[in-house]
Amino acid sequence: MTQMNAHMQMNNHKGQMNDHKGQRHLAGLGPVRMLVIALIAFGYASTMPRGPQSAEYLNIFGYDPSWYGIQMIFMISGFLALRSLRRHGSGLKLLASRLARNAPTVIVFALLVIAVLFPLFSAPLAAGETRLSQHLLYFIKVVLCIEPNIITPGLLDNALYMCVIQGGLWTFRWGLIAFIATAILWAVGGLRNARLLAILTLGATLVYAALVVYVGANPQTSDNGMLQAAVVGLRLGWAYLAGMYLFAYRRRLRRSFFIPAGLLAIAAMQFYFLRWTPFIEITATLGFGYVVFLAMTSRTPVPAFMGRMPDLSLGLYVYNWPAAQITLLLIPSLTPYPLFAISFPVTIILSYLTWVLVSRKINMGVRNRLEIKPA
């Protein structure tokens, strides 16, 4: 009997170790994150030849795939942030690891815009004019996330889809705010209690819904910059907190695709049969988020080729927009599908080169120096 008990204890211990190992490595994280960003890139590319007022292809329940995709990225970020804090117990290490991961790619991107895209595609200057101060200001504001959506004077003014070259980099400022707030909340003990986190997540979601309803009922608020910023911040913030919630309760949540299917069915019923409310977006986002959660935490071994793939998600996120813009500028006759078919492979190449030549070395160096375990 004693031997049987010992054997059972040993099996339980092995099971716990395997569960911890599966949670630690998250083999599906890279592929899932890159797939989400590919959908964001496809959504962006689908509107560029048709104009900014056009709905993206794969629009679901009135919301574009890029809308859902960005919220998925913030959910994943929230999940990984709390996971990092639980493993290392340090808000400073969290900030250092995110800085080491994000900064090199953003710096390379800003330098490419200044050194390559401006000389090739910007409007010519008048005699005696210089853009040195503009370039310096652009670099500082983009890299430090002071104003990552700063206008690039004279660049792409004649493009079919006129917009800043940075594309999705506007979200980096919100990501930085989220990480700093996370480090502070962890330091004061605000994220150590799972129930408190659940209340915070629910509260942020309800406040976001209330603000969206208020803005929708009062169109004049479109001129209120502070209110619009609050809506955007809460849209990304509640998703970030939902990701934290998924990590905190990961062992209590059912691993069943019936749950996201049910959430999406509820969103569909609201959209097709009831009056519009922001809970259509919220319910659908939770459904897609649950699919992402199940996929990236899956214990099913990933195929060997996927295990060898580097995680290029950050580069894909940074480069997909400018790659599509420049491609369309060079070949203005492209329709959405060919545009994506040409620009996204370019995005992959740029992302891989940045990862191999710059990002990987800096990221690994910082992690080794601070003894931070990789995701």
Q: Which 3 state secondary structure label does DSSP give 270? A: helix
Burial of 4 (0-12, 13-18, 19+ CB in 10 A): exposed
Task: Tell me what the mean pLDDT of segment 109-115 comes to.
Answer: 93
Tens digit of each residue's pLDDT (9 = 90 or more) over 210-255: 999 999 999 888 888 899 999 999 999 999 999 999 999 999 999 9
Q: Among residues 353, 307, 310, 291, which one has the least CA distance to residue 68?
A: 291
Q: DSSP letters of 222-271? A: GG-HHHHHHHHHHHHHHHHHHHHHHHHTTTTS---THHHHHHHHHHHHHH
> Cβ contacts of residue 338 below 8 Å, gap of 6+?
none
Q: Among residues 211, 186, 207, 206, which one has the least CA distance to residue 197?
A: 186
Residue type, 246: L
Distance CA 56, CA 352 (A): 27
Distance CA 128, CA 134 (A): 15
Encoding tokens for residue 24? Answer: 């630690």
Task: Tell me what the mean pLDDT of segment 43-59 comes to.
Answer: 90
Please give the model's pTM, rounded to 2 decimal places. Answer: 0.89
Tens digit of each residue's pLDDT (9 = 90 or more) over 70-104: 999 999 999 999 999 998 888 998 999 899 889 99
> Cβ contacts of residue 23 below 8 Å, gap of 6+?
250, 297
Q: What is the pLDDT of residue 363?
A: 76
Segment among 15-24, 193-202, 279-288 with least mean pLDDT = 15-24
- Across 13-30, b (16+ Cβ under 10 Å) vs e yields eeeeeeeeeeeeebbbbb
Segment among 35-44, 74-83, 156-165, 342-351 with least mean pLDDT = 156-165
Find the radius of gyration of the CA atoms of the chain: 22
- Across 178-205, b (16+ Cβ under 10 Å) vs e yields bbebbbebbeeeebeeeeebeebbeebb
Is the pLDDT reported for residue 263 higher than 60?
yes
Is the pLDDT reported for residue 373 higher than 50?
yes
Distance CA 241, CA 201 (A): 5
Task: Tell me what the mean pLDDT of segment 299-321 comes to.
Answer: 88
Opening angle at CA 95, ends 94 and 101, nearest 5: 95
Secondary structure of 72-104 as H, E, C letters: HHHHHHHHHHHHHHHHHCCHHHHHHHHHHHHHH
Distance CA 241, CA 198 (A): 8
Opening angle at CA 76, ends 72 and 77, nearest 5: 115
Tens digit of each residue's pLDDT (9 = 90 or more) over 144-169: 999 998 877 778 766 666 578 888 89
